Amino acid sequence: MDIDTIKNNLTGWVKERYHVEPFMDLITKKTVPQHKHSTWYYFGGITLFLFITQIITGILLLFYYKSTANTAFDSVKFIMTKVEFGWLIRSIHGWSSNLMVFTVFVHMFSTFFLKAYRPPRELTWVTGVFLFFLTLGTGFTGYLLPWNELSFFATKVGTQMAGSVPYIGDFLRTILRGGEEVSDATLGRFFGFHIIVLPLCIFAVLGAHLAFVQLQGMSEPISVKNGKEKKSIPFFPNFLLRDILAWMLALGVLASLAVFFPAELGKKVDPFAPTPVGIKPEWYFLWMFQALKLIPSKVFIFDGEVVGILGFGVMGLILLILPFIDIWSRKEKRNLFLTLLGIFMLAFIVVMTVWGLIDN
Ligand code: HEM
């Protein structure tokens, strides 16, 4: 039997049982625009690849990880020293989470500047912003799990920051910590959020995000839309093969980082010790941490930290409702104001992050 007969028999078998034609039509007829900004289209796919890597390596780590204050650190030490390739799996999980946060930032700001959020893609953008928050939340909750000095005190500082949210701050801090202090109860709930709640939310929101992208196809930037020459390539197999190539490149970067800069474990925490000087959160929260450090303790009559937290809240809200405040979008016009706002946000995040890294 030749390959075509096998293929026809198989597709015939599926088609007799399931109504897959509309789905096949969507995949085979879909095209992807090609222009000088097309490279940015690959970042969503790379983020997806890193998310799948997180799920697989996370499940493997779960076979040995023990989520109580007495056992967590030692179980991670066991994974690193006794489990075959345990160090590598943990290292890949750690690096992949960092790369995923990085590619989410790139994907978000590239779709921002290319105005891919404009009608009819408002909901693709809104689900994307939720994915951004969920990704940061998963990173934050996962950081505590090794129960080492760095992760413990970074969580203490982070949950303290949540305590500055006006009105609900105390409630939020207590809910996050499971009590007054970071303790075994905090580890328990961070573990639950990290391995079940947040990944399930990501699955659900990502499902909608990808469905919207499939149904509406990829957007074209305004300059390309108004231009004369338009090129596109079929999604299947041409774009998909390029996507897979991007995944292979991401895998190369990930494997090199995981092998040459393996994840460290640090010291087991003593919860009663004072917070060591120079403790910093993960790099992707550093911009907020640094900005809060720079704000004076009083801004007029308001508490400086509260003003800072409110500022971040406003930034998040602007991102969330961006498609609905872009009043230029109906006329398909460029809008300098929102582009400048995006540049300002990005510059602020980058400058504060670099400042935070070099500041002691
Ligand atoms: C877990 C995180 C995410 C994953 C796995 C993901 C995945 C994807 C994929 C595979 C695509 C199609 C290819 C592409 O345009 O890159 C896409 C498109 C898109 N994503 Fe995401 N995404 C994520 C987060 C976000 C975020 C944070 C935003 C923005 C706030 C966003 C906004 C968009 C938009 C507007 C499009 C349509 C692009 C266009 O039509 O040109 N996504 N996403």
> What string of H, E and C letters represents the secondary structure of 260-308?
HCCCCCCCECCCCCCCCCCCCCCHHHHHHHHHHHHCCCEECCEEHHHHH
Q: What percent of the chain has pLDDT over 90?
A: 85
Nearest atom, ligand 1, residue 121 CA: 35
Residue nearest (by alpha carbon) to ligand 1 atom 12: 44
Name the residue of 37, 38, 111 to mutate for ligand 1: max ligand atoms within 8 A of Cβ: 111
What three-state secondary structure class fits 232?
strand
What are the C-alpha distances in Å from 272 to residues 76, 170, 281?
Answer: 21, 22, 20
- Residue 107 CA to ligand 1 center (angstroms) comes to 6
User: According to the model, what pLDDT value does residue 92 have?
Assistant: 98
Span from the CA of 224 to the centroid of ligand 1 (angstroms): 19
Which H helix or E strand runs over 42? helix 42-62
Would the CB of 195 count as within 6 Å of ligand 1?
no
Q: Indicate whether 355 pLDDT > 90.
A: yes
- Cross-strand pairs, 303: 298
Cα of 210 from ligand 1 centre, angstroms: 8
Say how far apart CA 13 and CA 139 lie, in whole Å: 44
Using a 10 angstrom Cβ sphere, with 0-12 exposed, 13-18 middle and 19 or more buried, the burial of residue 107 is buried
CATH class, domain 20-275, is mainly alpha
Given this model, what pLDDT does residue 226 score?
78
Q: Is there an atom of ligand 1 within 6 Å of 356 CB?
A: no
pLDDT value at residue 276: 86
Residue whose Cα lies nearest atom 9 of ligand 1: it is 44
Q: What are 228-268's pLDDT values in tens digits? A: 778 999 998 999 999 999 999 999 999 999 999 999 999 99
Specify the residue with its C-alpha closest to ligand 1, atom 1.
Answer: 131
pLDDT tens track for 49-98: 999 999 999 999 999 999 999 999 999 999 999 999 999 999 999 999 99
Range name among 18-27, 98-107, 189-198, 341-350 with the lowest pLDDT average: 18-27
Does residue 43 line the site of ligand 1, with CB under 6 A? yes
pLDDT at 329 (0 to 100): 78
Cα(342) to centroid(ligand 1), Å: 17
Per-residue pLDDT, 227: 76
Count Cβ atoms below 10 Å from residue 105 Cβ, excluding itself.
19
Q: Would the CB of 221 count as within 6 Å of ligand 1?
A: no
- Region 145-159 average pLDDT: 95
User: Taking the CA atoms of the chain, what radius of gyration do you get in angstroms?
Assistant: 23
Pocket of ligand 1 contains residue 219 by CB under 6 Å: yes
Task: Give pTM, 2 decimals.
Answer: 0.95
Beta bridge partner(s), residue 34: 231
Return the best residue to mutate from 27, 134, 213 for the ligand 1 pocket (most ligand atoms within 8 A of CB): 213
- Report the range of poorest mean pLDDT among 36-45, 98-107, 189-198, 269-278: 269-278
CB distance 48 to ligand 1 below 6 Å: yes
How much distance in Å is there from the Cα of 184 to the middle of ligand 1?
36
Is ligand 1 within 6 A of the CB of residue 121? yes
CA of 98 to the centre of ligand 1 (A): 18
Distance 4 CA to ligand 1 centre (A): 36
**C-beta of 49 in contact with ligand 1 (< 6 A):** no
